[in-house]
Every structure is written in C-alpha cells, then in structure tokens.
Structure 1
Amino acid sequence: MAAAPSLAQGRLGLLPQGEYVCALPGNAGGAAWNEVQGRNFAITGASSYRAGNGSGTYLLEGKRVTFTRGPMKGMKMMRVSSGMLQEVGRDGKLGRMRCHRAGPVLD
C-alpha cells in the first residue's frame, strides 16, 4: 500500500526581501534581545537566501518556512508576522529564537 502524500501547510509564497537578524530573548537585568552570531541571513530573491557561509533556497507554505538547500538546509521557521520568523524545533514546537527583517539587502 502506498503512503499518502503529506498535506501542504497552505499556499506557496515568498518572504519579503531583506536582511534578517536572529536573536534570543534577553532578561530583565540586561538586553531585551541577544543577537545569535552566525544565524543572520538575507532573503535575496524569489525563494533564495544568503547566509554567512553560502546561499540556498527556501519554501514558504502558508506560514511554514523550510530551508531546502544551502547552509540552512533542514531548518524550519514559522512566519509570525510580515517581517518576523520564529524557529521551529525538531519536535514541531516553536523555539525561542526569532528572526526579524532589519532592512534592505546589503551587498
């Protein structure tokens, strides 16, 4: 018996182009957000991104983003607003790291 195909999360889409900065929440005694070095990336075009160590592609289905090729391959995020993504853990639950669109793509 053949396995049933998985159901898509929703309509295919594109993320807004720009530089995305990733951070973890801080605490009351310090900074509100702590940038996570090495996790920032840029959405550069239709389903394409660039990270510090290469470039690749992503798929946006509904609110779920899956990085399909390149240095972030396998990473999953949830779109929580037009310019904000939140990591999704291997268990499918939302993680603590959030990435927000900080501005246009820098060369």
Structure 2
Amino acid sequence: MPGAQAQGRLGLLPQGEYVCALPGSATGAAWEELPAHNFAITGASSYRTDKGSGTYLLEGKRVTFTRGPMKGHRMMLLSSGLLQEMDRNGKLGRLRCHRAGPIAS
C-alpha cells in the first residue's frame, strides 16, 4: 500500500545551530554536550556539520537525514527546535539536540 510508512506532512526544521547532549547525572552536570554531534539547519531541507553538508526529510515528527555525513540518522521532533534520537525500531534514545540560536557566520 503506497504511503503506508508515511508519518505525516512534510515540513522543515527551524533554521539555526543545534547543540546535542546526553543527560547528565544527579551528582554532576545536568547535560554532557557532545560537540561532534552538533549540526546546523541551513535552509530548505539542508544541514551542515563540521564534516560536510547534506539533506534531511521531516515527515510529521520524524526526521531522517538522507544525504551527507549524518545519512541514515533518525530523530523525533519533540517540540519546535528540540529533537531526540531514534533507533531503527523507532525507540527514542538518550541523545537530544536543541536549537541554540541563529546560524553562526
């Protein structure tokens, strides 16, 4: 059945720099930033990282990076500017990325 896998309407993520982190611990920092996972949404379905540029697809709340250094990585849009990683089975992981501000020049 065509479209059976579709999760909703196509959309775009808010442009800007996204900072990624794992939850911290009760005895330490609240968040453990992971700069190697940071990325920027640069335009219509485009992103960039320190390793290069690529494209993504936002279907409903599911983000799939389709080309470039993050190809195959999947995330769930929790709210405007807040994403959480997903595994192949759709289970949410620990990594979260939030829009930290406009694209740095």
What's the CA shift for 1:47?
Answer: 0.2
Match of 1:24 in 2: 22
Find the partner of 1:83 among 78, 81, 103. 81
Counterpart-to-counterpart distance in 2, 1:98 and 1:26: 12
Identity of aligned residues (%): 76
Match of 1:105 in 2: 103
Larger Cα-atom Rg: 1
Counterparts of residues 4-15 of structure 1 (less than 5 Å): 4-5=1-2, 6-15=4-13
Match of 2:50 in 1: 52
**Runs of 4+ with >3 A deviation:** none
Alpha-carbon deviations, 1:52-106, whole Å to 9, x = none? 1000000000000000000000000000000100000123200000000000001
What's the CA shift for 1:7?
Answer: 2.7
TM-score by length of 2: 0.95
Q: Partner amino acid for 1:26?
A: G
- Secondary structure at the counterpart of residue 44 of structure 1: strand
Match of 1:37 in 2: 35
Counterpart-to-counterpart distance in 2, 1:60 and 1:23: 21
Q: 2:19, 2:35 within 8 Å by CA — same for their partners in 1? A: no
What's the CA shift for 1:42?
Answer: 0.1
- Secondary structure at the counterpart of residue 38 of structure 1: helix
Where in structure 1 are there 5+ consecutive unaligned residues? none
Where in structure 2 are there 5+ consecutive unaligned residues? none
Counterpart-to-counterpart distance in 2, 1:98 and 1:43: 15
Counterpart-to-counterpart distance in 1, 2:18 and 2:26: 24
Counterpart-to-counterpart distance in 1, 2:8 and 2:33: 30
Pairs aligned (count)? 104
